[in-house]
Amino acid sequence: MKTLFVCAAALALGACAAEPAPLGPSIATSDAPGLSSAAILDVISGNTGVGTMSGSTVTYAMYVAPDGTAQARLPTGTDTGNWRLTSDGQWCVNWKLFRNGEEYCQRVYRDGKGYKFVNASSEELLVFAPGKRF
């Protein structure tokens, strides 16, 4: 009986020590340089990007206004925020609701007909079209 209890306790502790499985595929970051801030500005400013969020098939759209504001249309509703570009070529945004309003920055890469926005915890693939599309 004592041996059975020790084995059960060891199994339970072993299960607690294991790291949980990831929720989706891992984010593949690159050491390659992304687009420059000027190139990102040319692609996004005044345009609407439509694509998917990392680790899901959720489709969303975001309008990136030339004045530094942005709007996102998600299956759960809309969100507004502010965006900026850094001198080292990152696109940064803080949405009012998404990520609790905390700013996050992403490198931007050309990917076929679209653009991949990537950081260590997220990846979005967006195709941009002129103007506000929603």
Cα–Cα nearest to 81, from 58, 104, 59, 107: 104
Assigned domain for 45 exists: yes
Assigned domain for 27 exists: no
Q: Can you tell me the distance from the alpha carbon of 100 to that of 130, in angstroms, rounded to the nearest whole number?
A: 29
Q: Under 8 Å CB-to-CB from 74, ≥6 apart: which residues?
A: 58, 60, 98
Range of the domain at 98: 37-130
Assigned domain for 117 exists: yes
Tally the domains of the chain.
1
What CATH number is associated with residue 46?
2.40.128.280
Assigned domain for 2 exists: no
Assigned domain for 80 exists: yes
* Per-residue pLDDT tens digits of the chain, which is 134 residues long: 555 444 344 434 344 444 444 444 454 555 678 999 999 999 999 999 999 988 888 899 999 999 999 999 999 899 999 999 999 999 999 999 988 999 999 999 999 999 999 999 889 999 999 999 98
pTM of the model: 0.76
Assigned domain for 11 exists: no
DSSP secondary structure of 2-25:
HHHHHHHHHHHHHHHHSPPPPSSP
Q: Can you tell me the distance from the alpha carbon of 98 to that of 80, in angstroms, rounded to the nearest whole number?
A: 9
